[in-house]
Amino acid sequence: MTYLRLIWKQGIQIGLIGGVVALLIALTGMVVTFNQRDIISGVVSVGVLLVLMVMAFAGYLAARRTDQPRWLVVLNSTLAGLTTSVLLVLLIVVGSLINLRLILINASPMLYDLLTFKQGVWLAACRSW
């Protein structure tokens, strides 16, 4: 039981660190700036890929820190990736309710469109849960 609790705690910690890194990447303007370069034309840009790579790296770190069995590795890495995405969803939802651009200059509607893949704030928030 304590081993399972350690897995949960570790996955959430790594996910929170990944979420803070993803927020910093988004709020420093890297996502919007690198949006001009497409990886897959019209689908994924370099800016969005940066955020996706942070989520994947958080999952990788969580998987590396987990021993056996395999289902705990998958659970821990999934939990880390979901925790990372929860912080981004909170940014999107709070940014749609409150004008964060007064304090955070790069929290623009274009950033929210990129993070939600232009699906709207509430639809994207529901899909990420």
Q: What is the mean pLDDT of residues 63-92?
A: 89
Summarised one tens digit per residue, pLDDT across range 13-61 is 999 999 999 999 999 999 999 988 888 887 788 999 999 999 999 999 9
Q: What is the DSSP letter of 66?
A: -
- What dihedral angle (degrees, nearest 10) is formed by the CA atoms of 86, 88, 93, 96? 180
Element (H, E) at 81: helix 70-97
pLDDT at position 83 is 94
pTM, entire model: 0.86
State phi, psi for 12 to the nearest 5 degrees: -70, -40
pLDDT at position 66 is 82
Summarised one tens digit per residue, pLDDT across range 89-129 is 999 999 989 999 999 999 999 999 888 888 877 676 666 55
Domain ranges of the chain: 2-128
DSSP string across 32-49: HHGGGSEEETTTEEHHHH
Q: Which amino acid, 11?
A: G
Contact call for residues 89 and 125 (beta carbons, < 8 A): yes
E strands, the chain, in order: 38-40, 44-45
